Amino acid sequence: MQDDTPWQRIKAAFDALMDLPPQDREAALQATTLDPDQQAEVRSLLAHHDGLDDTGGQPFLAAAPRPEGLEGRRFGPWLLTRRVGAGGMGEVFEAERADGSFAGRAAIKLLAPGRDGPALLARFAQERQALARLNHPHIAHLMDAGVADDGQPYVVMEFVDGRPIDDVAAALPLEGRLALVLQLCEAVAYAHRQLLVHRDLKPGNVLVDAQGQVKLLDFGIAKAIDGGDPLITGVAHTPHYASPEQVRGEPVGTATDLYSLGVLTYQLLTGVRPTGRQATTAQEAARSVLEDTPTRPSRLSGDEVPDPDWPATRARLAGDLDNILLKALEKEPERRYASVDAFAADLRAYLGGYPVSARPAAWSYRARKWLQRNPVAAGLSASLLLAVLGGLAATAWQAHEARLAQQTAEQRLAEVRRVTHSLVFGFGDSVEYLPGGQDIKIGLLRDTLAALERLRPTLGEDTALLADIAQVHVRLGEAHMPGYLASRNDLATATRHAQAARELVDRVWAAQRGHGDFVSYASRAYNLLASVDQEADRIEASVALMQQGLALVREAMPQLPPGPDRLRAQGAITATLVNVGNMLDDNGVGLGRRPEAQAAYREALASADAELADPAAIAAVEATLPPQHTRFAAETAQSRAIILGSWSSSLLRDGDYAGALERRRASVAELRRAHETHPEQQQFWQSLCTALSFTAQLELQLAHPAEALAAMRESLQWNERLQASEPDNPQWTDNIGLRALPMGTALAATGALAESLPWFQRAIAYAQAELAKKEALRPRRNLLTAQLRLALAEQALKRPGAGARVLSATEALQALQPKDAKSPDTLLAVAEGAAALASPAVGGEKWRGVACEAWRQAATRRPLSPAALRARGVVGCE
């Protein structure tokens, strides 16, 4: 066959060179007519041919050995401690921080000896550029980069203490394996949104840590697709996981990563690769990618896979998972999924029992999936389901005409209530925190409320019906109340539903207080109405309403049988106590009764512990929940995290920094446990985002800059995920503005001064935007503080005019201070600026006195933090 395609020319050169001694290959390659990209592909294939291990999957470096004793060598502030592995173009070492600024562990990647030519150096620089653009919890992040004294370039990355994803997946059930894949999909989809393609997705580049968190490594061959700075676009890859277009040397895009994800997912679910299972060379692996049709997973024989339970696994793969994997593995890019998000959506649909896009949307298929998801509804007649969707009014009207019809309506009501609780409430809760799930839930609740209201004229004061209507009002109110998780922030709508819910609760309380579900909703109704008063700054009225709701639950507790009903009521007590604590606290919105608030937090934590003390009741509750519903342990962990976070803030206002940090870290640990149980739920993303931001600010006050920076980075990573899932929600953009000041502060405190500048500038822009809406003390203080810290960072970088800007910001903070009569924050900012000015060049003694006096006054409002005490000591205040 004539060599008239790039791939055929590459293949011919590879065949000719593979049997030559390695030292003779380069000269022979240079003598060919291949262009530079094609030569790079031949080198890659030769390296994989030489270094393919006995599994046919993992390449190693065939490079000259490094000199002995490299451990212990310094790279910038980092000290190499041990070699941990090798990647496609370098070696990786574990390292520790050695300059004394903070304790830390990292992974340092170096080019292999003898592989430092211009092309590879450019690719190494490319890795640094790619990693610098990525900030995601499932991607190992870039910490530092530089060039050693001998010209050796290096990058410092987050150290991931984990195992390859295929090793971890082998011990997991199918759902656990898919959960790992979904984490990886989030990372790859994020990279694609940053206009980067990884191009080398394989088990060795995907690690799973001890907490079950996926970390994607090695963007050394990522290709920029945004048309920005030119990067090396060679087509190095691992043949077994490469896409057909990658093997052919054609242009690559996001579909390339999608194909590799398909290969990796296929391997995790079956234990084998879709093609090339017998390949022993890179050439054979590449040929199989181009020519072999992937085997339908459910048709693999037991002799081909290592899974001892293969018959059961194969049965589960048949159908939806078969189709999902084969669609991802289509040879032509345009026939694959349109995006990684679309691939992940089908995996989530499979896990939730929903139809998948990879399967034809026949009516029978969709109906079967619906019935599988809703076993309770499956037992109801078709006429009942139609009634639930809109025909209830006609039935109710007929019931008005005769006793028989009345009995029929009552029976229908009982059936409708079962559907409402098992389908509408259960399904609504299961999707609420998924992307777009809140809209689905609100729509279901509105339709349900309309259907139940159509029954009221016929059934009159039926307390069970009214109790259900009250519950729907509570849920709709919570979905719109400002400050609630995933809320629509519509106070008027929330108020209307809160008032309706409280009125109905009071009307049916005597008849329904023996039902645990209703008791917990009664408490939520009072808390919801209390939130309305809180929004209107009626704090005393808000506390009174919450205490009324708490009294109702405590009144009902003796009547509730042990088990699920009492457990739900105990949960209502826990939730109300923490709300009461927040309203009693000295937190800017509360009543300033801090000891009472901390007593409420302590009691709330004890109540949460009491919930966990009845495992039989927990099991009974969870037995009634659909698989995708939030587990009880996760809900309780969320509650404990909220309590601990509020308690931490209260202790901080007391000046108990150590106690505050202990509870704040415990709060984050609780949220991590909840997220591990439900990694797809946005409520835990949002809670972690907020808790980590508070943790970072506390770590800064305790003079722990490295810990603060790590927490702020992760907080922003969670915010990035929220923003990607809801791009039209302005809250996530606002969050970045709110967190810009502590992020810049943490960067500056760790010495990353240049990196801190854009964050301070963003904090300034956000504060200016807030002040344009309304003049207020906090954004004004944040604006001046950000301007001060920007000027201080610029001064340390020796930027012209920075000293004058430090002086201007400090004087502006001095002018603002008389307006800030309660908080010490403006005084602390004044002290920070004055301390920087305390040098002879700018009248140092005067400014030293200003700093010392500002710290003295701040200490009368709240004990000084360790960081402030340290700064005070440096200036020499008595």
In degrees, to the nearest 5, what angle opens at C-alpha 512 toward C-alphas 509 and 516?
Answer: 110
Helices (H), 491-515: 491-512
Amino acid 814: pLDDT? 92
Report pLDDT for 221.
Answer: 44
Q: Would you state the structure tokens that stand for residue 549, as one six-digit string?
A: 């709701």
In percent, how much of the chain has pLDDT > 70? 76
* DSSP 8-state code for residue 685: H
Q: What is the mean pLDDT of residues 270-281?
A: 83
pLDDT for 133: 62
* pLDDT value of residue 827: 94
Catalytic annotation present for 200 = yes
Cβ contacts of 140 within 8 Å, gap of 6 or more: 107, 157, 158, 160, 215, 216, 217
Q: How confident is the model at residue 36 (pLDDT cuts 50, 70, 90)?
A: low
**Cβ atoms of 346 and 357 closer than 8 Å:** yes
pLDDT at 591: 86
Residues 526-535: b if buried by 16+ CB within 10 A, e if exposed: bbbbbbbbbb
Write down the pLDDT at residue 366: 47
Which residue numbers belong to the known binding site for ATP? 109
- 200, 218, 320, 825: which one is catalytic? 200
Of 169-178, 355-364, 436-445, 626-635, least confident by mean pLDDT is: 355-364
**Residue ranges of the binding site:** 109
The pLDDT value given to residue 744:
93
Is pLDDT above 50 for 28?
Answer: yes
What mean pLDDT comes out for the span 636-658? Answer: 86
pLDDT digits (tens, 9 = 90+) for 678-718: 777 777 888 888 899 999 999 999 999 999 999 999 998 88
User: Average pLDDT in the 367-392 region?
Assistant: 42
Instruction: Give the per-residue pLDDT at 875.
Output: 86
pLDDT at residue number 395: 41
pLDDT score recorded for residue 69:
56
Please, which pLDDT band fits residue 42 given cuts at 50, 70 and 90?
confident
The answer, yes or no, to whether residue 124 has pLDDT greater than 60, is no
The strands making up 105-111's β-sheet, listed across from edge to edge, are 74-75, 78-86, 90-97, 105-111, 153-158, 142-147
58: Cβ contacts below 8 Å, ≥ 6 apart: 52, 202, 203, 204, 238
CA 105 from centre of chain:
23
Between 270 and 731, the higher pLDDT residue: 270
According to CATH, where is 1.25.40 located in the chain? 752-875
Confidence of residue 370 (pLDDT cuts 50, 70, 90): very low
pLDDT of residue 404: 47
Amino acid making up residue 543: V
Name which residue leads in pLDDT, 365 or 501: 501
**Mean pLDDT of all residues in 365-371:** 46
The string over 776-792, giving b where at least 16 C-beta atoms fall within 10 Å of a residue's C-beta and e elsewhere, is eeebbbbbbbbbbbbbb
User: Looking at domain 752-875, does it have CATH number 1.10.600?
Assistant: no
Select the CATH number that applies to the domain covering 72-372 from these four: 3.30.70.890, 1.10.510.10, 3.30.420.40, 3.40.190.170: 1.10.510.10
Contacts 24+ apart (CB under 8 A), 441-446: 441/475, 441/479, 442/476, 442/479, 442/488, 445/472, 445/475, 445/476, 445/479, 446/476
CA 579 vs CA 549, 647, 735: distances in Å: 11, 12, 23
pLDDT tens-digit profile of 432-464?
Answer: 444 455 666 777 778 778 877 877 776 667 888
Q: Which helix (H) or strand (E) holds 163?
A: strand 162-164
Q: Quick check: 372 pLDDT over 80?
A: no
Query: 335 pLDDT exceeds 80?
Result: yes
pLDDT at position 175: 85
Can you give the length of the chain in residues?
878
What is the structure's pLDDT at 4? 53
Per-residue model confidence as pLDDT tens digits over 553-570: 888 888 888 887 888 888
Pick the closest to residue 267 from 346, 167, 196, 411 (CA basis).
167
Percentage above 90 pLDDT, the chain: 17
* Nearest C-alpha neighbor of 442 from the set 451, 452, 454, 429: 429
Top pLDDT among 650 and 34 is at: 650
Sign of the Cα torsion 303, 307, 312, 313 reads negative
How confident is the model over 315-332, as pLDDT tens digits? Answer: 888 888 998 999 999 988
**pTM for the complete prediction?**
0.49
Q: Which letter does DSSP use for residue 139 in this model?
A: B
> Can you tell me the mean pLDDT for 302-315?
84
The enclosing H or E element of 106 equals strand 105-111
For residue 259, is pLDDT > 90? Answer: yes
Q: Looking at residue 121, what is its pLDDT?
A: 53
pLDDT of residue 264: 94
Return d(Cα 450, Cα 36) in angstroms, integer.
68
User: Where is average pLDDT lowest: 306-320, 404-418, 447-461, 665-679?
Assistant: 404-418
User: 170-208, pLDDT tens digit by residue?
Assistant: 888 888 889 899 989 988 988 887 778 888 888 888 999
Across 470-495, average pLDDT: 84
Mean pLDDT across 353-371: 56
pLDDT at position 6 is 60
Average pLDDT, the chain: 77
Average pLDDT estimate for 803-817 = 92
Distances from the Cα of 209 to the Cα of 139, 538, 718, 750, angstroms: 12, 48, 18, 26
Handedness of CA 662, 663, 668, 670 (dihedral sign): positive
Q: Kindly report which listed range (113-127, 652-666, 862-876) carries the lowest average pLDDT score.
A: 113-127
Residue 11: per-residue pLDDT: 66
Indicate where the chain has its CATH 1.10.510.10 domain(s): 72-372
